[in-house]
Structure 1
Amino acid sequence: MGGFHSDAELVSRALAGSDAAFSRLVERHQAAVRGFLRRALRGGWAEADDVAQDAFLAAWRSLRSLRDPAGVRAWLCGIAWRKAQDRIRASRRGAARDGAWLEAVAPPAGVSHEDRLSMAAAMTDLPPDVRACVALCLADGWSHGEASVALGLPLGTVKSHVARGRTRLLKALGGTDDA
C-alpha cells in the first residue's frame, strides 16, 4: 500500500476488509499506545506490549464501533486503557514491577537519579486513573480533551487528575506548583 493515507482512509479500507490497512494503522499508532501503557501499568516493555496486542486485536474485532475514523489514536488508547484496567484489577504486582518500571523509564535530561526514583515512586502512588491522565497529558503531551476521549473520563475530571498528579510529582521532587 504505497503513499500516505489518512487515518480515516485507512479505517475505511480496513472496514472493507483490508488487513494491510489495519496493519498500517497499528504501525502508525503502536508507539503512542505502548508508551502510554508502559506508564499507565507501571510495568516493563513486555507487559505493555502484551496489553497493546490485546488492545489491537480488540480494536480489529470492534472496528465498526469507531464513530470518528479521524480519531483512531484516541480510540485505540481508550481500548488499551480498558485492557490496562482489566490487567490492574486482575493482578496487583509489587516491588518487582516497580523496579522494572524504574529501569524502563528514561530520565529527562538534567534529572538526577534520586529525583528520578522520587518521581517514579510518586507516579506509583497515584491512583490508576490519575496516573493514566498524567501519563497522557504530562508525559506524552496530549491535550486534556484528547485524554478525556481516550480514557472515557469527563474533561473536568481529566483536568483535576492532571493538576493533582502534577502537584504530587512536584512535591516528590521537593518543588512547588507555582508555575
Structure 2
Amino acid sequence: MRVDEAAEREFAEYFRARCEAVRRTAYLLCGDWHRADDHAQSAFVALHRHWRRIRDRAALDAWVRRTLVRSVVDESRRPWRRERAVDALPAVPVAAASDAVATRHALVDGLRAVPPRQRAVLVLRYLEGLDVAATAAALGCAEGTVKSQTAHGLAALRAALGDALDDLRPAG
C-alpha cells in the first residue's frame, strides 16, 4: 500500500494542533494523566486509521471527541478498571497553591466520583463548551438523554464536592 505523503502531512499538522486539547479532555473524562494519554493515543490512532475516508475535515474535532468519550466510557465498564472503596483515604499533602489551582483540583476530584457517562456529559457541556445538540452527537444519544444526564451529573458532582463547594465560594 502506497503512503500518501500529503495525507500524512495533513494528519501530522492536525495532530500537532489538537494533541494537548484532546489530552486535557481525556484527563477531565478519566481523572488520570496516564490513562488520559492512553485514551488520547487511541483516539488519534483510530483517526489515523480512518483519515483518508473522512471527507468532512471540519468535523474532525467532533470525530476525535466522540472516539475519545467512547474509549473512556468503554474502559470504565471493564471489571478490572472499576474503582475499589477503601477504609481510609490516603494523606494528601496540602500545597500552598492559588485559588484557581485549588478550585481545579477540587473539581477534578469531584468529577472522579461522578459516573463515567454523566462525567462525559459534564465535561463536554461545561468544560468543552458544547451545546446540548453537539454533546448528543458526540455521545451518540438523544438530546433528552444529555439533559437528564446533565441534571444527574450535576447532582452527583454537588454531592461529591459537598462542603468543598462552600470552601470554593469567594468570601463576601
Q: 1:81 aligns with which of 55, 60, 69?
A: 69
Counterparts in 2 of 1:82 and 1:108: CA distance versus 1, 3 Å: farther
Task: Rate the CA distance shift 1:57–1:164 in 2: closer, same or farther, 3 A.
Answer: same
The question of whether the paired residues in 2 share the 8 Å contact of 1:55 and 1:79 is answered with: yes
CA contact (8 A) 1:133 1:158 kept: yes
Q: Confirm whether residue 150 of structure 1 aligns to residue 141 of structure 2.
A: no
Judging changes above 3 Å, is the alpha-carbon distance between structure 1 residues 107 and 81 closer, same or farther for their aligned structure 2 residues? Answer: farther
**1:164 shift after superposition:** 2.1
Partner Cα separation in structure 2 for residue 17 and residue 52 of structure 1: 23
Give the distance between the partners of 2:103 and 2:49, measured in 1 at CA.
44
Secondary structure at the residue paired with 2:40? helix
Alignment of 1:1-179 (within 5 A): 17-44=6-33, 46-66=34-54, 68-90=56-78, 91-94=80-83, 109=100, 117=106, 119-171=107-159, 172-173=161-162
Q: Percent identity?
A: 29
Q: TM-score, normalised by structure 2?
A: 0.70
Which residue identity lines up with residue 18 of structure 1 in the other structure?
A: A
Deviates more, 1:119-128 or 1:25-34: 119-128
The Cα shift of 1:139 comes to 2.2
Q: Structure 1, residues 71-124: CA drift from partner, whole Å, max 9, x if none? A: 1101101111222233223332537xx98xxxxxx98638569xx54x445422
**Offset at 1:156?**
1.5
What SS class does the counterpart of residue 118 from structure 2 fall into?
helix
Partner in structure 1 of residue 170 of structure 2 = none
Q: Cα offset for 1:17?
A: 5.0
Aligned residues: 152
Question: Deviation of residue 48 (structure 1)?
Answer: 0.7
User: C-alpha displacement at 1:160, in angstroms?
Assistant: 1.8
In the alignment, structure 2 segments of 5+ residues that lack a partner are 91-96, 166-172
Are the equivalent residues in 2 in contact too, given 1:74–1:150 (CA < 8 A)? yes
Over alpha carbons, which structure has the higher Rg?
A: 2
Distance across 2 between alignment mates of 1:15 and 1:164 = 46
TM-score, length-scaled by structure 1 = 0.67
Are residues 38 and 110 of structure 1, via their aligned partners in 2, closer, same or farther at CA, if it must alter by over 3 Å?
Answer: closer
Deviation of 1:64 (Å): 4.7
